[in-house]
Amino acid sequence: MAKKYEGFNNYETASYFHQRCLDISIEFKYIEGEAQAHRGLGICEEKVFNKFEAMQHLETALEKARNGEKFEIERIISKDLVRVY
């Protein structure tokens, strides 16, 4: 659902769905889901020009991906983080 709302440029609603995914991922200790949800939140913050929040979410996503040894996701998040910097 979050990606659908991102397509409509409705980043507030997309952030809501990314946050729900994050909450569920934390509850079930799903590291990959946490990384993806933080990435989604970071991208939404970037789109509304909130660079500081975007950096925080993307840095957290990168940390989660590294801790979970999710190398493909780590590579994607690193590219997003470089773009935001």
pTM of the model: 0.93
| Domain map (residue ranges) of the chain | 2-84
The count of other CB atoms within 10 Å of the CB of residue 22 is 22
Who's near 31: CB < 8 A, 6+ residues apart?
25, 64, 65, 67, 68, 70
CATH code, residues 2-84: 1.25.40.10
The conformation of residue 40, written as its DSSP 8-state character, comes to: H
Q: What is the pLDDT of residues 35-81, one digit of tens each?
A: 999 999 999 999 999 999 999 999 999 999 999 888 999 999 999 99
